[in-house]
Amino acid sequence: MGSKNKLKRFKENETFQNVIQPTREEVLNNFALKGKWHSFFKNEHPIVLELGCGKGEYTIALARKNPNTNYIGIDIKGARFWRGAKTAIEEGINNVAFVRTQIELVDFLFAENEVSQIWITFPDPQIKYKRTKHRMTNSSFLKKYHHILNENGIVNLKTDSEFMHGYTLGLLHGEGHEVLNANHNVYKNEGSPKEVTETQTFYENQYLEVGKPITYIQFRLKY
């Protein structure tokens, strides 16, 4: 993507009512919407997050199917989720928002028990050991998710990375969390929710074209 195109998208994001772009300081210092997201959506519907939402395909697809649930895509790359934000506006999908910030700040964006469900779709597996702290299912991230999820809240991980799948399963079992569903190939094995098999992202389609299996884990955190 050219720099001019990126700048154009950044400018357009500033005009979208469904895009929030706080500074890091604003997030860390009593973020205005923390604990008040229902006032943003003007309803009391459950809140579901997509972390590292990219173009926002999953956020938009789920929002279309579930109008009585609010969806929030979070990513630091605003030029990417511009597509999802614009699609929501064009189609009149009002149960969608996008936040431009770092994923590691998620527990500053939401209050305790404010979120019902989290989706992590095709994250960077950060395979090198020195990158462990950046894996979105490491112990530190899981604690952040647990803090903002309600009592019955669940996390969904969909990935093409067998490493990420195995690492996460091992960690979940080791820490005593509840694994609700684990599938090594969602398109060949039965048992995955429709939300997993009926929605494909841009990158997922590329993986499928070269025959990479798509894995899935659904879990509930227990501390």
User: Which residues does the annotation mark as catalytic?
Assistant: 124
The span from the CA of 154 to the CA of 142, in Å, is 11
Residue 195 and residue 157 in contact, taking contact as beta carbons nearer than 8 Å: no
HSE-up (13 A, CA, CB side) for residue 27: 18
Among residues 138, 126, 124, which one has the least CA distance to residue 175?
138
Environment class of residue 136 by beta-carbon count within 10 Å: exposed (0-12), middle (13-18) or buried (19+)?
buried
